[in-house]
């Protein structure tokens, strides 16, 4: 039976043993955290211990942590629940943001990026400068891009946003646990990118008074998010954020892989910018991303063509298109690693990718020879 090698950890990474154990232990509890009897008190104690763990990870007080169903809900809560002087601020976002941001509100104004995928600071300043006419802004920027791994200079972004009287929402779904969390008004986290279970995340809120609930129906999460909390998932998230990882070793493996593929004709998108240690956007000119994903899948390698949020559809990357890549935006795959990815697995992948690239070039030569023969 053909072995399968998983290289799509940016989509979801396997739950770590500590998270699995924490989920199982929480499932064994009987009691709603909102109940006042002994079972409810035990469940609430676990909820608050988990909140304390996530707060320590984020470097904030426990009251700054709001549990959600994942990164998408955390982003939606911030984008739609943020309030400044009692009103919802206008929304600005980078053109390479995740669809959770781009579709989070119908009125999001996009900020361009340069060829490396970095936010155009002059455009940001111009958009923020419209405050006197249109009011303050909530600016949503990824810490690290989910397709290219490009790291945005959020320290500089935050300074500009705050100087203009705005709020910063940092999508840290990919960067959390790999980089120090930035100085932002809102930070979105997702457990299943960190080795926790799917279906749970958190929004870190610097000033809880700047947020109103968009999901009502109960007073849970200090009134910011109605609904019975997913206690097993929350316990799994708390366990996952406490696990150590050697991301420097992952970055070394990623760099070695990219060097081998570039020597065989690959294009690494965003490589001139600082990047997260585990993500590579690899272009193969002349071959559609969907073809690459399917051929590699048949060879036993699980990769993607970008965010795993389009119901299994493979389309040209809006991230790469925003970086000005034109048709090449539809010719790239994403390979993403974890601490458990081995050199042997990457050796096998490099060999498979080179075979795929070699077959494409052989096909082009044959087509050229046929054309030459007819002329």
DSSP 24-93: HHHHT--S-TT--SHHHHHHHHHHHHHHHHHHHHHTS-GGGEEEESSHHHHHHHHHHHB-BTTBPPEEEE
Is beta strand 186-190 parallel, antiparallel or unpaired with respect to 201-205? antiparallel
- Residue position matching structure tokens 């298109």: 321
Q: Residue 311's pLDDT band (boundaries 50, 70, 90)?
A: very low
Residues 14-26: b if buried by 16+ CB within 10 A, e if exposed: ebbebbbebbeeb
Provide the pLDDT for residue 216: 86
Provide the pLDDT for residue 312: 56
Report the first-to-last Cα separation within the chain, whole angstroms: 47
Is 16 known to be catalytic?
no
The least confident of 43-57, 208-222, 339-353 is: 208-222
Q: Taking each helix axis from N to C terminus, what angle separates 154-163 and 121-128, rounded to the nearest 10 degrees?
A: 20
Instruction: Tell me how far CA of residue 350 lies from CA of 9, 149, 284, 346, 357, in angstroms.
Output: 17, 20, 13, 6, 10
pLDDT in tens, 10-50: 999 999 999 999 999 999 999 999 999 999 999 999 999 99
Higher pLDDT, 367 or 3: 3
Provide the pLDDT for residue 315: 75
Query: Encoding tokens for residue 348?
Result: 């096998």
Nearest to 292 by CA among 368, 366, 359: 359
pLDDT in tens, 65-117: 999 999 999 999 999 999 998 899 999 999 999 999 999 999 999 999 999 99
Name, in order, each residue with C-beta under 8 angstroms of 202's C-beta and a sequence gap of 6 or more: 54, 58, 65, 66, 67, 68, 74, 188, 189, 237
pLDDT in tens, 224-282: 999 999 999 999 999 999 999 999 999 999 999 999 999 999 999 999 999 999 999 99
Give dist(CA 91, CA 299) in Å, integer: 43
CB atoms within 10 A of CB 344: 9
Catalytic residue among 309, 362, 366, 367: 309
Residue ranges of the alpha helices (H) in the chain? Answer: 17-27, 38-58, 71-81, 99-102, 121-128, 131-134, 154-163, 231-241, 247-263, 289-298, 318-322, 343-374
R_g (Cα) of the chain, nearest Å: 22
For the chain, what is the mean pLDDT? 93
Starting at the earlier edge strand, list the strands of the sheet with 109-111. 65-68, 201-205, 186-190, 167-171, 137-142, 90-94, 109-111
Instruction: Tell me how far CA of residue 68 lies from CA of 105, 146, 177, 208, in angstroms.
Output: 18, 20, 18, 15
């Amino acid at each position: 039976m053909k072995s399968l090698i998983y290289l799509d950890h940016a989509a979801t990474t396997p739950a770590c043993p500590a998270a699995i154990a924490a989920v199982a232990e929480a499932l064994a509890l009987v009691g709603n955290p909102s109940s006042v009897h002994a079972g409810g008190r035990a469940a609430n104690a676990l909820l608050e211990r988990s909140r304390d763990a996530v707060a320590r990870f984020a470097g904030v007080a426990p009251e700054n942590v709001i549990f959600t169903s994942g990164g998408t809900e955390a982003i939606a809560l911030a984008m739609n629940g943020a309030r400044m002087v009692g009103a919802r601020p206008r929304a600005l976002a980078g053109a390479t943001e995740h669809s959770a941001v781009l579709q989070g509100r119908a009125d999001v104004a996009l900020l361009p990026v340069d060829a490396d995928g970095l936010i155009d600071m002059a455009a940001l300043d111009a958009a923020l400068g419209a405050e006197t006419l249109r009011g303050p802004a909530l600016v949503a920027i990824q810490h690290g891009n989910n397709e290219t791994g490009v790291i945005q200079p959020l320290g500089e972004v935050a300074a500009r946003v705050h100087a203009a009287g705005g709020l910063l929402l940092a999508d840290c779904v990919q960067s959390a646990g790999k980089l120090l969390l930035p100085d932002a008004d809102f930070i979105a986290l997702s457990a299943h990118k960190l080795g926790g279970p799917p279906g749970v995340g958190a929004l870190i809120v610097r000033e809880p008074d700047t947020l109103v609930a968009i999901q009502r129906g109960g007073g849970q999460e200090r009134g910011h998010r109605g609904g019975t909390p997913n206690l097993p998932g929350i316990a799994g998230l708390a366990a996952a954020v406490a696990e150590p990882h050697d991301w420097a070793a992952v970055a070394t493996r990623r760099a070695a892989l990219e060097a081998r593929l570039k020597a065989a004709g690959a294009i690494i998108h965003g490589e001139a910018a600082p990047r997260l240690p585990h993500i590579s956007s690899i272009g193969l000119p002349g071959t559609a991303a969907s073809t690459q994903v399917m051929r590699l899948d048949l060879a036993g390698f699980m990769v993607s063509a970008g965010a795993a949020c389009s119901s299994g559809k493979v389309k040209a990357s809006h991230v790469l298109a925003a970086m000005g890549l034109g048709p090449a935006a539809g010719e790239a795959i994403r390979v993403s690693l974890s601490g458990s990815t081995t050199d042997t697995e990457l050796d096998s992948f490099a060999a498979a990718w080179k075979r795929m690239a070699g077959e494409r070039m052989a096909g082009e030569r044959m087509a050229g020879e046929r054309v030459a023969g007819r002329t």
